[in-house]
Amino acid sequence: MRLRVRPLVAPKRGSTPEEYEDARWPVRSGVHRSLRCAVADGATEASFSGLWARLLVEAFRHGRLDAALTALPALQEQWQAAVAGIPLPWYAEEKARLGAFSALLGVTVTGGRWDAVAVGDSCLFHIREGELLAAFPIERAEDLAAAPHLVSSLPRHNAALPAHLRTACGELRDGDVLYLATDAMAGWLLRRLADGACHNELAALRPAGFPAWLDAQRDAGTIRNDDTTLIRIDAVADTARL
C-alpha cells in the first residue's frame, strides 16, 4: 500500500498568510509508504500559538511526541526560550505570560493501520467506499465547542490534559481515504460526510484551488471563517497507477 498525501491550506479571510496559525505535516503533496502526519490549530485568543502549533507538529513528525505526549515539557521549554528572547511591549509580554494553546491531531499510518492521538477539536475522518467509518475525536458537529480544551505551552494550564487526551486506531485498506482537518473544516465534514454527497467535491480539491473553494463556502455560510487545514490521504494499492 502507498499513501498519496495532499495538504490543503488557507488562512482566515482578512488575515495574511503570515498570520496563519495552523501547522501541518506533510507540508506538501507526495507519496509515502508509511507516514507520521499531523495537524495543529493554534488558538486565536493566545499569542505565539502558531509557533506552538509548529513545535507540536514537528515533534510528532519526528516521533519525539508519543501518544501520551511525554515529551511535552521539553517542547514547552523550547517555546518559552523562543518567546523569552523577543523584546515585547507590555501587552504582548502579558499575553505571552498567558501561554500559547493549540489543538493537536497526530496520526501514524503504517502496515495497513492507523493510530491517532488528539487533544482538542482537530479531527480525523476514515472513509471506505463512500461510507464514513470513523470520525475522531469528535463525532457530531454540535460537539465542536466554542472553547475546546487545548495543549498549552505552560505546564500550569495542562493539569487536566490527561483527561482530554484521546487515542484511536483503525485498519486501513486499499482505496480508503483519511482526512485530517482543523476545526472549521472538521465542522463542514461532520455536517456533510453523513449524506455521502461531498466525496467527489472533496476529491477534486487541489492546493491551488482550495482558497477559492473555501471562500465560496464562507460566502454561503457553510463554513466558519478560520485558518483552515485539510490533509487528504488516499491508500493506494501497490499495483495501482498513481
Could you list the residues that contact another protein (CB under 8 A)?
Answer: 14, 19, 41, 43-48, 51, 86, 88-99, 101, 145-150, 152, 154-160, 183, 225-226
Q: In terms of CB distance, is 46 or 193 closer to another protein? A: 46
Minimal distance, residue 95 CB to another protein, in Å: 4
Minimal distance, residue 207 CB to another protein, in Å: 24
**CA 240 to the chain's CA centroid:** 28
Q: In terms of CB distance, is 94 or 129 closer to another protein? A: 94
Q: In terms of CB distance, is 26 or 148 closer to another protein? A: 148
All three cell numbers of 47: 499569542
Minimal distance, residue 145 CB to another protein, in Å: 7
All three cell numbers of 237: 494499492
Minimal distance, residue 47 CB to another protein, in Å: 5
All three cell numbers of 102: 493549540
All three cell numbers of 175: 482505496
Q: In terms of CB distance, is 120 or 170 closer to another protein? A: 120
Other beta carbons less than 10 A from residue 77's beta carbon: 11
Minimal distance, residue 219 CB to another protein, in Å: 13
Minimal distance, residue 154 CB to another protein, in Å: 7
Minimal distance, residue 70 CB to another protein, in Å: 16
d(CA 155, CA 69): 12
Q: Which has the closest alpha carbon to 116: 126, 125, 108?
A: 108
Backbone phi, psi, residue 171, to 5°? -90, 140
Q: In terms of CB distance, is 157 or 192 closer to another protein? A: 157
d(CA 19, CA 9): 13
* DSSP at 4: E
d(CA 122, CA 217): 19
All three cell numbers of 111: 502496515
Query: 101: which strand partners?
Result: 152
Q: In terms of CB distance, is 65 or 96 closer to another protein? A: 96
Q: In terms of CB distance, is 3 or 46 closer to another protein? A: 46
Query: 131: which strand partners?
Result: 128
